[in-house]
Structure 1
Amino acid sequence: MVIQSRARCETASFDFLGSTETNVVDGFTLAAVGDVMMRRPHTIVQAATLSPVAKILQDADVSFGNLETNLTDLRTSKGGPTVNGDAYHVATPAVAPDLKAVGFNMMARANNHAYDWGIEGMRETTEVLDQIGIVHAGSGENLAQAAAPHFLETRRGRIGLISLTMTFPSASRAADAAGQAPGRPGLSALRLTRIVVVAPDMLESLRRIRNGLPGPIEEGGNPNQVVVADTVYRAGNKIGYSFEPNAHDETTILRNIREGKQLSDFLIVSNHDHNPGNWSEVPSDYAQVFARKTIDVGADAHIAHGPHILRGIEIYKGRPIFYSLGNFLFDNLNPVEGADYFEYYGLDPRKDTVPDVIAAAMKGDFANPVYYESVVAVSRFEQNQLVELRLFPIELNFTKRLADRGVPRLAPPAHGQAILERLQRLSEPYGTHIAIESGVGVIRLRSAATSVETSVKPTVGTR
């Protein structure tokens, strides 16, 4: 009887330790933004613009952003550029205290620019962030480290962060040791297979092309699918793109999310995902499937970023899913750019300047003002449930010269109204209703304490 009683006690203890319940103190707030591409300190020179926005972050228990740059001193760095044909995202370590001053205390690292300065640039960025006291996740000396949760102790609970990316250069993906091969430093990544969906008659034309090409035929075992030059084409009702995850990556990530929640009171999952492309205000078909899976295994907030534009907001099981929070700080005045980047835009580094090539990139890829419009999203929790989400519209000074562009300010009333109305439209397909009150977007949910009527219609009931 003593042994049986002890076994029951141990089982109960194990169940408690394995819990994925949320456990923050009432009033917990999370302020979230999207991409932070900060090349130089801004809190002094542009304090008047930045300070009102920074105060929103400073007032929250947790302020999160995606750090899409390396923080390293190029005069002493042991790293070197690794990207080919894209921008080198690098900034002085003096940016780190500025990030802290703005209010950030948690930042994601897994994204397509975190490896721009190689392994050493990644390591040097880690050291700078650790010294300044900003908790970060998503990179490491091997996959286990890169994919692991990291934690911030706050007055309202222990907050965990897991960071992953679906958009990344292949060389930047971290790997674990295998036999005598050591682990590979890099990022936590979820590999996706992109499938081009075509009409059935198009598939037959592609099949004839494939059959006429030299080399072995990759059947794939699916009669409605053809592989041509390493691109998968599949018959469907609507032409477009579809994405399928690597099963091993997904299983590992979901397992780490569950563990991260078991070790914390509240868990944030950060996902850097450009798919299907920066041009799209609608995420890929897999984005919603994956985001909901992260909530199912314990995430309290799923925050996506990457395409540099706003995408919709969904409330799933009483938890926020941000399909993209766009840009927060879009300071693209890089100190260096590679020769191949000049070449891509038809410029010559012997006579054209770095600002010349950046200006060409902005005109070509980011000429639309929507890339300079976003929100700061502040979620408030009571009794471990999301009760209110406030959306503060910001704009990044698109009309200013390049050297001053990209720094957020609270949008003027008319501009803020337009930003929020666009976010309303993008969120409607998810059943999310955003009210606009005094220039701020507001999503209210049913409160467990007051049973206030919700203005959101979750796809699945709150947990």
Structure 2
Amino acid sequence: MERHSDEEPGEKAGHYDTVGSLATNVADGFTIVAVGDLIVTRPLTKAQGPGFGAIVKILREADVTFGNMETNIFDIRSFKGSPQAEYGGAYHVSLPELGPDLKKMGFNALSRANNHSFDWGVEGMRETSRALDQSGIVHAGVGENLAQAGAARFLETARGRVALLSCASTFTPMSRACDPAGEAPGRPGLNSLRLARTILVPPEVLENLRKVRNSLPGYRGRHEEAKRIVLAGMTYETADKASYKYEANSKDVAGICRNVRQGKQFADFCLVTNHGHEPGNWSQEPANHEQSFARELIDAGADAYIGHGPHQLRGIEVYKSRPIFYSLGNFIMDDLRTPVGADMFAGYQKDPMKDTDAELTAAEMAGGYETDAGFSDPVFYESVVAACQFEHNQLAEVRLYPIELGHSKRLANRGVPRLASGPQAQGILERLQQLSKPFGTHVAIENDTGVINLRH
């Protein structure tokens, strides 16, 4: 395989680097195809819908084909675990045949850290790991302790060795992994990026909240900042308009950056992925912390950053000749979810003795709470497949293939992607153009395909 110079500043030519350079070191033509969330309950390649085969062809042609695995894989008839009281908003489960089918589609790298990693507890995590291992798919983001969950996993390709790291800023609190401490053992879980959230409100709203806080029983007056209060465990600050502000946990960021650096030291290319819904599925813009976080990971050695979680497209940035995808939306939303835990029935005021699993899923899709609009908007059923090509260890081109998931179809036929065309493809790509403009990224549209051309 062709190698390129990877001397660090200050290194002498011919000096043996005992640590390993953080430079990209892949052969020309190296390609990554990346998609967003895989919410899939069954094998799809045997009875693929119209247009699905064209997408599979794109997936199979890449050196690395990545997606976010947002489900568990096991056979309920022999499963020894149980649905957890704390779950990611829905109980995601897939048939055991899914592992080989994902491999057949072309997937060889999957992220595992997300809010559904532990819908079915540690047993579900372990069963899913076994299924993916048996199918020869590299996966990262969960493990028996934090060290395992945060570690890079490696994929061997013809054009270079790839390190994969996965973390999540949106997760159920009890699913966070930890390391041993003294005699206390470590805890199985996912690789977390904890965020401290502050709600920003106009000054007059803050004063009203202060009055509410001061009137509550048990409150003891204390010195505090004039433009900041804490009410019922939530921090509020003044701002010109209402919004959210996030601050990433410095210890988590340092640990993730260290693992990125180590992963790159043992690989030619490092792919880092984060699952985050912040500030909410309603937002087409990333949360305030994410750009600096993504750039810090690239500074630490990452060659690409892929975000997912909000179930819709967000913008694309190119930083130091490396791609940052703030969200690739949904790739598969084939959510024929069954079985479903009793807690979810209760959460949507449904009765498992009267209502079916499909009817419960339909209620979730429609939105069950005042702050939850569900997934009724067509925007959640439109996305892209992103194909990145590298030449001379630089990102040369990103091709963006618009896809649609059949928003208007019945539940049993909805959620399987096919290439979009005509006005729909144009609409998807124009939206991505606008979302990417704030990051200085130009997306051209050529024959129903988006193109980011970085060749000079």
Please classify the TM superposition score into its range, dividing by the shorter chain length.
Answer: over 0.9
SS at match of 1:206: helix
Identify which of 373, 378, 392 aligns with 2:382.
373
Check the 8 A contact 1:304/1:324 in 2, yes or no: yes
Alignment-derived partner of residue 114 in structure 2? 111
Q: Is the 8 A contact 1:218 1:227 kept in 2?
A: no
User: 1:272 pairs with 271, 275, 295, which one?
Assistant: 275
Q: Does residue 186 of the first structure (1) align with residue 195 of the second (2)? A: no
Deviation (angstroms), 1:50: 1.6
> How much does 1:393 deviate?
0.3
Tell me the residue number matched to 2:19. 17
| Worse-matched range after superposition: 150-159 or 336-345 | 336-345
The residue that corresponds to 1:413 in the other structure is 422
Could you tell me which runs of 5 or more consecutive residues in structure 2 were left unpaired when the two chains were aligned: 1-9, 368-373
Deviation readout 1:342-392 (Å, 9 max, x if unpaired): 222232111110111111111220000110000000000001000100000
Which amino acid in 1 is paired with 2:379?
A: V
Query: Are residue 323 (structure 1) and residue 326 (structure 2) matched?
Result: yes
**Alpha-carbon shift at residue 9 of structure 1 (Å):** 11
**Structure 1: distance between partners of 2:172 and 2:402:** 32
Q: How many residues align?
A: 440
CA distance in 1 between counterparts of 2:127 and 2:222 reads: 45
Q: Structure 2: how far apart are the matches of 1:218 and 1:15? A: 59
Distance of aligned partners of 1:219 and 1:243 in 2 relative to their CA distance in 1, 3 Å threshold? farther
Return the alpha-carbon distance in structure 1 between the equivalents of residues 451 and 125 of structure 2.
38
Q: Distance in 1 between matches of 2:194 and 2:205?
A: 27
Distance in 2, matches of 1:217 and 1:17, equals: 55
Whole-Å separation in 2 of the counterparts to 1:60 and 1:413: 26
2:83 partner letter: P
Question: In 2 relative to 1, CA 217–182 (structure 1 residues): closer, same or farther, beyond 3 Å?
Answer: farther
Q: Deviations over 1:151-172 (max 9, x none)?
A: 1000000001100000000010
1:122 equivalent to 2:160? Answer no
TM-score norm. by structure 1 comes to: 0.92
Give the aligned residue type for 2:162.
Answer: I
Q: Secondary structure at the match of 1:417?
A: helix
Between the aligned partners of 1:371 and 1:256, the Cα distance in structure 2 is 32
**What is the CA–CA distance in structure 1 between the aligned matches of 2:268 and 2:388, rounded to whole Å?**
15
CA separation of 1:315/1:352 partners in 2, compared to 1, >3 Å: closer, same or farther?
A: same
Three-state SS of the structure 2 residue aligned to 1:244 is: strand
* Aligned partner of residue 46 in structure 1, secondary structure: coil
1:22-41 matches, cutoff 5 A? 22-41=24-43
Summarize the Cα distance change of 1:392–1:232 in structure 2 as closer, same or farther, 3 Å threshold: same
**CA 1:172–1:14: 2 relative to 1, 3 Å:** farther
For 2:363 and 2:406, how far apart are their aligned partners in 1?
18
Q: Is the 8 A contact 1:219 1:227 kept in 2?
A: no
How far has the Cα of 1:18 moved from its partner?
3.3
Partner of 2:406: 397
Q: Aligned equivalents of 2:424 and 2:252: distance in 1?
A: 41
The structure 1 residue matched to 2:340, chosen from 324, 337, 340, is: 337
Query: 1:226-265 to 2 correspondence within 5 Å?
Result: 226-265=229-268
Q: Which residue of 2 aligns with 1:427?
A: 436
Measure the CA separation in 1 of the matches of 2:18 and 2:219: 55
CA distance in structure 2 between the partners assigned to 1:178 and 1:400 by the alignment = 52
TM-fit CA distance, 1:276: 0.5
1:95 pairs with 2:98:
yes
Give 1:332 deviation, angstroms.
Answer: 0.9
Alignment-derived partner of residue 439 in structure 1: 448
Task: State the distance in 2 between where 1:80 and 1:153 align.
Answer: 35
Q: Is the 8 A contact 1:100 1:134 kept in 2?
A: yes
The one-letter code sitting in structure 2 at the alignment partner of 1:320 is P
Report what 1:63 is aligned to.
65
Change in 2 beyond 3 A, CA 1:355/1:191: same
CA spacing shift, 1:72–1:13, aligned 2, 3 Å: farther
Residue type at the aligned position of 1:105:
N
3-state secondary structure, aligned to 2:256: helix
**2:301 matched residue in structure 1:** 298
The CA distance in 2 between the partners of 1:436 and 1:50, in whole Å, is: 22
Query: Could you tell me which amino acid in structure 2 is paired with residue 202 of structure 1?
Result: V
Which protein is richer in helix relative to its size? 1
Looking at structure 2, the residues matched to 218 and 430 of structure 1 have their Cα atoms a distance apart, in angstroms, of: 45
Deviates more, 1:358-367 or 1:151-160: 358-367
Give how far 1:14 is off: 7.0
Contact 2:122 2:189 in 1 (8 A): yes
- SS of residue matched to 2:103: helix
Maintained 8 Å contact 2:213/2:219: no
Two-structure CA RMSD over aligned residues (Å):
1.9
Q: CA deviation at 1:12?
A: 8.5
Structure 1 gaps of 5+ residues are 1-7, 448-463
Matched, 1:45 2:47: yes
Q: Distance in 2 between matches of 1:209 and 1:64?
A: 48
